[in-house]
């Protein structure tokens, strides 16, 4: 039961997993009927059930409605449709609602589309057809990571709250970034994402603070 439920929760858009879950629910109705018959037989033969109470419901007429997995599936579909209109600062709070990068391999993506990859959310910088070896972390010219701002923190990119830099990121003039315990001020826009360590960009795009 746990395996069937976990499979379905992991990907309830998979028809095979959903069919397994529904078959499990049908079996539960049958199992309840068997339990009632066993309890009744035991009572007729002087055997008291331990820790069990007969179900007064009519299993034959039991209806699995609404289907919990179907409701969840429809809810996620609705949320995914609404997520495309979220600004980046809200989208980063619900990254799993966006299509995975792997699901787009072989498909065309447009500038501004957001994709979920390796637990992070990335935005498409250039329209292209997704290739298996052009991952968001490897193709700096095609993707940029969307960075979350913590609740109650000052504006992201200030000296008090510099942006964590991990490569594959476009730098904006006037914003502060941090890497390896050092804070840097961007002195010139990079335009496109860069992937070198910030220490290698000193004098060109950044200066240490």
Domain that holds residue 174: 163-208
153 lies in some domain: no
55, 102: one domain:
no
pLDDT value for 59: 45
Average pLDDT for 146-158: 70
Asked whether the beta carbons of 141 and 125 are under 8 A apart, the reply is yes
Two tokens, residue 139: 């193709």
**Rounded CA gap, 34 and 148, in Å?**
53
Give the count of domains, the chain: 3
Average pLDDT for 180-203: 92
Q: 71 pLDDT exceeds 80?
A: no
- Note the pTM of the prediction, 2 decimals: 0.49
**Higher local confidence (pLDDT), 101 or 155:** 101
Domain boundary residue among 13, 36, 71? Answer: 71
52, 92: one domain:
no
Q: How many residues are present in the chain?
A: 209
152 lies in some domain: no
> Exposed, middle or buried, 172 (CB in 10 Å: 0-12/13-18/19+)?
middle
**Rounded CA gap, 162 and 174, in Å?**
11
**Higher local confidence (pLDDT), 117 or 55:** 117
Average model confidence (pLDDT) across the chain: 82
150 lies in some domain: no
């Amino acid at each position: 039961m746990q395996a069937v439920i976990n499979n379905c929760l992991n990907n309830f858009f998979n028809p095979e997993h959903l069919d397994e879950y529904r078959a499990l629910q049908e079996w539960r109705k049958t199992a309840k009927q068997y339990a009632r018959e066993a309890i009744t037989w035991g009572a007729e033969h002087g055997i008291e059930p331990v820790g069990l109470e007969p179900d007064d419901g009519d299993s034959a007429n039991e209806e699995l409605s609404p289907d919990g997995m179907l409701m969840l599936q429809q809810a996620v579909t609705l949320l995914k449709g609404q997520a495309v209109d979220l600004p980046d600062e809200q989208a980063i709070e619900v990254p799993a609602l966006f299509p995975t990068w792997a699901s787009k391999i072989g498909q065309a993506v447009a500038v501004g589309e957001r994709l979920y990859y390796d637990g992070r959310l990335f935005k498409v910088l250039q329209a292209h057809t997704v290739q298996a070896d052009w991952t968001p972390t490897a193709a700096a010219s095609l993707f940029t990571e969307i960075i979350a701002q913590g609740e109650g923190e000052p504006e992201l990119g200030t000296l008090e709250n510099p942006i964590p830099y991990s490569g594959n990121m476009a730098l904006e003039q006037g914003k502060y970034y941090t890497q390896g315990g050092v804070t840097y001020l961007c002195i010139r826009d990079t335009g496109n994402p860069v992937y070198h360590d910030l220490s290698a960009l000193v004098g060109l795009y950044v200066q240490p603070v």
